[in-house]
Structure 1
């Protein structure tokens, strides 16, 4: 894992002097997990092409919604499109195209002072359901577990909900965060907290945990031995603008994939 000093707010815009609505401009919206990759890629893309690009987070669901309502050229998503989203696209006679740009591992994180190093998927599920409430129940100190989760518009939440929770509900006492960066910051400041985040966000302000004895890494994500591995993708319309097509091709190129690694994620 590579440290990543994240630059994150709910909205991040990268642009040149040209107007944002210019015919050759590009709008990108969606996943805050994918955001660090896109920020770096857009900076390099602008330097090469001079094409204005506006980038904002807000979550995978919001990015896909924006693609379907025509308010973005590219949607960033840390999950696959849902069946209901595909049906909505069909009802609008749209055919979104998926482009996998990276691999990721969703990793449980705790405060660096926490002595716990590994949790099973069953233990994680029980913690997030509110059935395990004290760290001493899983080999830690006698302290209440502060559970932190992403909000439901997040693709990272969807991944956790499907793989770890097996679609069970996160208990109402969990503290919800609106972005990957906010999750990282919350855990770094609370010695009793637990959360989960994409591999590109993990740095020395938090401690990553193994899951079922397997560490999240580029190797274990690629060979799928890590239990909470996933793909990261962007979506375009079936007939994207030439500028949007050029940006997608740039991210998928060797140079773009180098940027994926520089952002701390795993090349596809």
Structure 2
């Protein structure tokens, strides 16, 4: 506890003043050493894309099981938030499910750790099974507003999208919208899980999510006659594919480098495939 400050000025003899200065420097150095110690033992922090997050958690768990003492913290927030966290120094690795923007790429490095397909999904009650890419674009632009003629029993389409700054949304805008704006009537959700839940609860809805997060609660659509499968992605027939990036400032070092090398190595890539993602393109 700090002593109370006296309202009267202290008078310190010269010799005592030297001892006091030395003591203050020693205390400051000790405090700094404790702070640095906490920094060193706090582990590796990853932040960013909620699409990458569940895979990063699995990679971190498997890596930690093989590297005693490794501590890796994984948190979401969206791709843009993760990129900003790396720039500010609050995270050593940012997770992004979109390519870096030109200005970001001048300051940071994006390392591809996996590839992921984006699935366009509807409610299982919807009889539609196949859409053209241009139809998806027109639905999200607000030009097609009903399922009439599209196997959806004439219902008004509930368009569901991710928030601005989401890597999934950024990839969808690049791959599907091609410069068109997503309609302001779209319902905005802040995570992939929330999009899936809304589609699962609304028979007239449409959304887009990471291919690996598709489950029986939603139905993935064929796009231009092609099913969103790993084989179709590898063959180059399914075009809605995005990179999963680890974003770093400069060359990764220490635990960050070891973790990234492990993910991109044989053991990490085997886990990547097991979890439904694809390794980086050869």
- TM-score class, shorter-chain normalisation, is 0.7 to 0.9
| Residue 172 of structure 1 pairs with residue 190 of structure 2 | no
| Residue 155 of structure 1 pairs with residue 167 of structure 2 | yes
Aligned counterpart, 1:3: none
Aligned counterpart, 2:21: none
Q: Tell me if the contact between 1:99 and 1:234 (Cα under 8 Å) persists in the aligned partners.
A: yes
RMSD across aligned C-alpha pairs, in angstroms? 1.6
- Offset at 1:139? 2.9
| Residue 36 of structure 1 pairs with residue 54 of structure 2 | yes
Q: Distance in 1 between matches of 2:186 and 2:46?
A: 30
| Residue 76 of structure 1 pairs with residue 95 of structure 2 | yes
Bigger relative contact order, structure 1 or 2 (CA pairs below 8 A, ≥6 apart): 1
Of residues 71, 83, 87, the one that matches 1:64 is: 83
Aligned counterpart, 2:155: 143
- Offset at 1:24? 6.5
Q: Deviations over 1:106-147 (max 9, x none)?
A: 110011111000111111111111111111142321211100
SS of the aligned residue for 2:148 comes to: helix
Aligned counterpart, 1:236: 248
The alignment of Structure 1 onto Structure 2 pairs a total of residues equal to 243
Gaps (5+ residues) in structure 2? 1-36
- Offset at 1:165? 0.8
Aligned counterpart, 1:26: 44
Q: List, as ranges, runs of 4+ consecutive aligned residues in structure 1 with deviation greater than 4 Å.
A: none
Report 1:112-261 matches (<5 A). Answer: 112-261=124-273
- Offset at 1:20? 7.5
Q: Distance in 2 between matches of 1:32 and 1:243?
A: 22
Q: Distance in 2 between matches of 1:249 and 1:213?
A: 37
TM-score normalised by the chain length of structure 1: 0.86
Aligned counterpart, 1:86: 105
TM-score normalised by the chain length of structure 2: 0.82
Q: Distance in 1 between matches of 2:170 and 2:251?
A: 28
Aligned counterpart, 1:107: 119
SS of the aligned residue for 1:267 comes to: coil
